[in-house]
Amino acid sequence: MSKINRSGQLPLHVRLTDAVHRLTVLGLVGICVVGGGGIIFNIYANSDYAPWNKNKLKFNEEEYHETREASEASTEK
C-alpha cells in the first residue's frame, strides 16, 4: 500500500506510472484521431463533392457511342 507524504503528494513511482499511462492514452487517441481524419479526408478528396474534382472525367454513354461510330466510320474508309 502506498503511503501519502506529509505534503499530500503520491510516491514518485505512482506519479511516474500515472504520467506514462496518460501519455500512452493520449498517444493512442491522437493516432486514432489523425488516422480517422486521414481516412475521412481521402474519402472526401476522391468524391464528387471536392472542389478540385469538378472537372473530373465522367462516362457519358451517348458520347461514347457517337465517338465509337465516328471512329468505326473513319477506319472503314
The type of residue at 8 is G
pTM over 0.85: no
Query: Computed from CA positions of residues 33, 34, 37, 42, in that sequence, does the dihedral angle turn out positive or negative?
Result: negative
Task: Select from 20, 1, 23 the least CA-distant residue to 11.
Answer: 1
Cα 51 → chain centroid: 18
More confident site: 3 or 24? 24
The type of residue at 60 is N
Residue 54 to residue 57: CA distance in whole angstroms = 9
Summarised one tens digit per residue, pLDDT across range 21-69 is 999 999 999 999 999 999 999 999 988 888 887 777 777 788 888 888 8
